[in-house]
Amino acid sequence: MGMIDPSSEPLRQLADRRGVLIGSCVGVEYLRHDPAYRAILEREFNVITPENAMKFELLHPACGRWEFNDADEIVSFAADHDMEVRGHTLVWHRRIPGWIVDGGYRRDELMAILRDHIHTVVGRYRGRVRTWDVVNEALPMPGDASRERSLWRQVIGTEFIELAFHWAHEADPGARLFYNDDHADGLSEKSDAVYGLARRLMDRGVPLHGIGLQMHTGLGWSPSPREIAANIRRFADLGLEVHITEMDVQIQTGHGSPSERWDAQANVYGEILRACLDVPAFKALVMWGVTDRHSWIPDFTGHGDSPLIFDESYRPKPAYNAVARALGTKR
Ligand code: XIL
């Protein structure tokens, strides 16, 4: 199997020197059964995000029943290898378990359930999960009515957002609490809405510390690096930190031969990272997967792709080198 040149400097070392985090989401099944996958994580990254293991339905599948094994394993792997964990995610309109969806709970009951969930999860990992995506994708998206129909919004009202932050803060006052969303990476109506939300929360004294920009993107439709940097700067002006939380770069939407697309993809990774690193409030780049073999994108889009920085055989792609170069370039 092709591997990284062992003499090259690992991404995490370059990132440490820069004072930023570099990482990926982690699928617990690969962590358990795939030594090559583990080896890349250990060598390259100083932060990981559970891809699914901390989602509500997986942690809390029935009333009073908790399944912590997968999440525990990811958290202790991180501790063993001196990595941070981004907890993902406490409140989302998806992956809500059936016992809640079909429970017919009143507002006060649902609030008590959510409060208990957040207290239990954040409390369990207190001091070990440094950062939480407290609320994920709560703002309306044209073409996706599921977000307005979100159970939390319907039954509790928009107040669910600030309540979730307060509850998370109660459970671990040392944790860094993030609002995470998609299609809010550059300057757009959606990112204006995220900015407006962040400002309202800050004005109201809600314990919000950062904004997660998912950065699911692709050739031909990725926001410009300048816009992304400008977006990060306005969150920084509110006193917030910014992480890229789920980056991948689809190539199926691009032109040219496969190798030209991989080069174009490398430019997207490199230029976006470089622009972000110019803003001191930017503190992390997390990619939504390690290798093209396990990306969520083919399931999501319905066709094959290779959106990550390691190929299907775990070899570093041009995008890997672009990320390394961006991290290694002095300001
Ligand atoms: C995705 C996972 O990658 C898939 O394995 C799962 O089937 C669905 O969820 N935005 C998010 C992530 O915040 O939690 C999603 O993760 C991808 C989009």
Task: Answer yes or no: is pLDDT of 243 > 90.
Answer: yes
Q: Is 133 in the pocket of ligand 1 (CB under 6 A)?
A: no
* Range of weakest confidence among 110-114, 142-146, 151-155, 319-323: 142-146
Ligand 1 within 6 A of CB of 296: yes
Query: Is 51 touching ligand 1 by the criterion CB < 6 Å?
Result: yes
**Cα–Cα distance for residue pair 269/292, rounded to 1 Å:** 15
- What is the arithmetic mean of pLDDT over 102-122? 98
Computed from CA positions of residues 20, 291, 176, 187, in that sequence, does the dihedral angle turn out positive or negative? positive
Q: pTM for this structure?
A: 0.97
Task: Over range 305-314, report the average pLDDT.
Answer: 98
User: If you search the block for the tokens 């609320």, which residue do you land on?
Assistant: 135
In degrees and rounded to multiples of 5, residue 10 shows phi and psi of -60, 150
Helix (H, G, I), strand (E, B) or coil at 135: strand
| Given 44, 84, 241, 246, the catalytic residue | 246
Structure confidence by residue, pLDDT tens digits, 80-100: 999 999 999 999 999 999 999
pLDDT band at 7 (very low <50, low <70, confident <90, very high): low
Q: Identify the pLDDT of residue 6.
A: 65
Distance from residue 290's CA to the centre of ligand 1 (Å):
14
pLDDT attached to residue 141: 82
Q: Ligand 1: distance of its center to the CA of 51 in Å?
A: 7
Q: What pLDDT sits at residue 124? A: 98
Ligand 1 pocket: which of 139, 246, 299 to mutate (most atoms <8 Å of CB)?
A: 246
Query: What would the mean pLDDT of 208-213 be, rounded to a whole number?
Result: 99
Q: Please name the residues in contact with 237: beta carbons below 8 A apart, sequence gap of 6 or more.
A: none
pLDDT exceeds cutoff 60 at 72: yes
Q: How far apart are CA 54 and CA 68, in angstroms?
A: 8
Percent of the chain with pLDDT over 70: 97
Count of CB atoms situated within 10 Å of the CB of 93: 18
159 is catalytic: no
- Reply yes or no on whether the pLDDT at 200 is more than 50: yes
Q: What is the rounded distance in angstroms from the CA atom of residue 309 to the CA atom of residue 322? A: 9
Contact 46, 82 (CB under 8 A): yes
Residues 84, 137, 162, 241: which is the catalytic one? 137
Query: What are the structure tokens assigned to 221, written together?
Result: 């439709």
Q: Is the per-residue pLDDT at 44 higher than 50?
A: yes
Place of tokens 């995610």: 89
DSSP strand pairing (216-218 vs 176-181): unpaired
What pLDDT sits at residue 331? 59
Q: How confident is the model at residue 29 (pLDDT cuts 50, 70, 90)?
A: very high
Tokens standing for residue 241: 């930190």
Q: Which atom of ligand 1 is nearest to the CA of 296?
A: 3
**215 and 244 in contact (C-beta within 8 Å)?**
yes
Active site residue 246: yes
Q: How far apart, in whole angstroms, are the C-alpha atoms of residue 79 and residue 142?
A: 40
Question: Can you tell me whether residue 313 is helix, strand or coil?
Answer: coil
- Rounded mean pLDDT of the chain? 96
For residue range 165-186, list pLDDT tens digits in order.
999 999 999 999 999 999 999 9
The mean pLDDT of 268-277, rounded to a whole number, is 98
Closest atom of ligand 1 to CA, residue 299:
7
Q: Please choose, from the candidates 139, 234, 152, the residue with its C-alpha nearest in 3D space to the C-alpha of residue 189.
A: 139
Q: Is 131 a pocket residue for ligand 1 (Cβ < 6 Å)?
A: no
CB 133 within 8 A of CB 208: no
- Look at 101 and 331; give whichever has higher pLDDT: 101
Residue listed under structure tokens 């995470």: 180
Residue 142: pLDDT above 80? no
d(CA 75, CA 143): 36
What is the distance of C-alpha 238 from the center of its chain?
21
Q: What is the mean pLDDT of residues 183-206?
A: 97
pLDDT at 329: 86
Residues 6+ apart with CB under 8 A from 226: 275
Q: How confident is the model at residue 2 (pLDDT cuts 50, 70, 90)?
A: very low
